[in-house]
């Protein structure tokens, strides 16, 4: 399933004390989805990398209690004691088997020894799959049986909901054009590969260099040589777009014919949208091929402009024209 679908299932399951496991490739946004739920609900998030822990780290160190004449286990610092939140056990199937076994009681009984998880807290685990070429171990069946399993994959529409306003619009334009490059696994001889995480890195990298030539080795070292080369070529197209401001101001009516330029133009229009441009924008999309008109309007709606779009006197006409393509 796609990430937003998994997120909706999580919202349902987390109403009960049900532990959930999210499976998916590296860098596709599993931890971000959990963080978004916490942000929406006002919950705390404790992000715990089980691959870095030993069994004693989960239960806590023992000390001798003279008054009780017995060993007492100190509560780990990360273990919550109050409030509402998600205890996120990331990289669970990279952890040593002994650590995975130590988590059995936590996942089923919501406790480790005498440490009890508060009623307001829920548990979500996450990990990569064997086919992701990750250094994972097969999950023991007693552990697997304690979890609800959701297998997640990246999706361009889900990603754009998150990326608008956070990622350079030229990257969004490129991935509209080449959605298969949102997330792929590296070939055997490669190390770097595209993922939602690595494209976010590219967005930050672009602001650090004054020219594409300077940034090229780093871009290829982030998303791989093949994807990097394609992205750089696309960036050169983006630099030669028609006058986007003129289009949105109703002064320019020319429409490019090449697919890659249309994808680039679509993203540029979305990134420069303002309330006063809505009518001119919708009028311009009448001139675009239907698939690009629909893509562009959908992305504007995703960017938070749905109410303004629907209030436009042109929208009814737009809907009538493109209803058969939707």
Q: What is the pLDDT of residues 25-41, one digit of tens each?
A: 888 889 989 999 999 99
115, 56, 122, 136: which is closest to 89 by C-alpha?
A: 122
The pLDDT value given to residue 76:
82
Residues 99 and 136: beta-carbon distance below 8 Å: no
The pair of structure tokens assigned to 126 is 């996450």
The pLDDT value given to residue 146:
86
Query: pLDDT grade, residue 46 (50/70/90)?
Result: very high
Please check the confidence at residue 134 and state whether its pLDDT lies above 80: no
Please check the confidence at residue 239 and state whether its pLDDT lies above 80: no
Q: What is the mean pLDDT of residues 139-148?
A: 86
CATH class of 3-151: alpha beta
For 32-36, 45-49, 56-60, 115-119, which range has the lowest pLDDT when averaged over its residues?
Answer: 56-60
How far CA 162 is from CA of 8, 124, 167, 205, 229, in Å, comes to: 15, 21, 9, 19, 25
50, 164, 45: which is closest to 101 by C-alpha?
A: 50
The pLDDT value given to residue 64:
67
Q: What b/e sequence results for 55-74 when a residue is b if at least 16 CB atoms lie within 10 Å of its CB, and e otherwise?
A: bebbbbeeeeeeeeeeeeee
State the Cα–Cα distance between residues 216 and 229, nearest whole angstrom: 8
Residues 72 and 113: beta-carbon distance below 8 Å: no
State the Cα–Cα distance between residues 8 and 28, nearest whole angstrom: 16
Residues pairing with 149 in the sheet = 21
The pLDDT value given to residue 97:
84
- The more confident residue out of 234 and 323 is 234
174, 177, 165: which is closest to 272 by C-alpha?
A: 165
Residues 241, 246, 250, 254, CA torsion sign: negative
Long-range contacts of 130-138 (CB under 8 A, 24+ apart): 131/185, 132/24, 132/25, 132/26, 132/185, 133/185, 133/186, 134/26, 134/94, 135/94, 136/93, 136/94, 137/93, 137/94, 137/97, 137/100, 138/93
Q: What is the pTM of this model?
A: 0.77
Mean pLDDT score of the chain, rounded to an integer? Answer: 88
Q: What is the mean pLDDT of residues 112-121?
A: 87
Q: What b/e sequence results for 152-190 when a residue is b if at least 16 CB atoms lie within 10 Å of its CB, and e otherwise?
A: bebbbebbbebbbeebbbbbbbbbbbbeebbbbeeeeee
For 68-72, 121-125, 159-163, 300-304, which range has the lowest pLDDT when averaged over its residues?
Answer: 68-72
């Amino acid at each position: 399933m796609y990430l937003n679908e998994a997120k909706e299932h999580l919202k349902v399951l987390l109403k009960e004390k049900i532990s959930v496991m999210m499976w998916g490739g590296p860098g596709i946004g599993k931890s971000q989805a959990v963080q978004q739920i916490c942000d929406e609900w006002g919950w705390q998030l404790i992000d715990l990398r089980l691959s870095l822990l030993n069994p004693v780290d989960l239960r806590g160190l023992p000390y001798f209690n003279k008054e009780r004449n017995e060993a007492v286990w100190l509560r780990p610092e990360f273990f919550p004691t109050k409030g509402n939140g998600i205890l996120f056990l990331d990289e669970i199937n990279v952890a040593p088997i002994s650590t995975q076994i130590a988590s059995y009681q936590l996942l089923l009984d919501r406790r480790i020894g005498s440490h009890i998880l508060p009623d307001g807290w829920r548990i979500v685990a996450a990990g990569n799959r064997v086919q992701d070429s990750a250094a994972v171990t097969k999950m023991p069946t007693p552990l697997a049986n304690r979890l609800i399993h959701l297998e997640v994959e990246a999706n361009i529409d889900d990603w754009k909901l998150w990326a608008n306003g956070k990622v350079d619009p030229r990257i969004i334009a490129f991935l509209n054009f080449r959605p298969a490059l949102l997330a792929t696994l590296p070939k055997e001889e490669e190390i770097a590969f595209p993922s939602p995480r690595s494209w976010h890195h590219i967005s930050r990298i672009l602001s650090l260099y004054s020219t594409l030539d300077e940034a090229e080795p780093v871009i290829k070292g982030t998303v791989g040589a093949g994807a990097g080369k394609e992205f750089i070529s696309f960036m050169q197209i983006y630099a030669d777009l028609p006058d986007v401001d003129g289009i949105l101001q109703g002064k320019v009516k020319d429409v490019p014919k090449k697919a890659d330029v249309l994808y680039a133009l679509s993203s540029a229009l979305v990134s420069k949208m303002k309330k006063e441009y809505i009518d001119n924008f919708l009028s311009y999309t009448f001139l675009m091929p239907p698939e690009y008109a629909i893509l562009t309007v959908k992305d504007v709606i995703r960017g938070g402009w749905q109410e303004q779009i629907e209030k436009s006197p042109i929208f009814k006409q737009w809907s009538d024209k493109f209803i058969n393509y939707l």
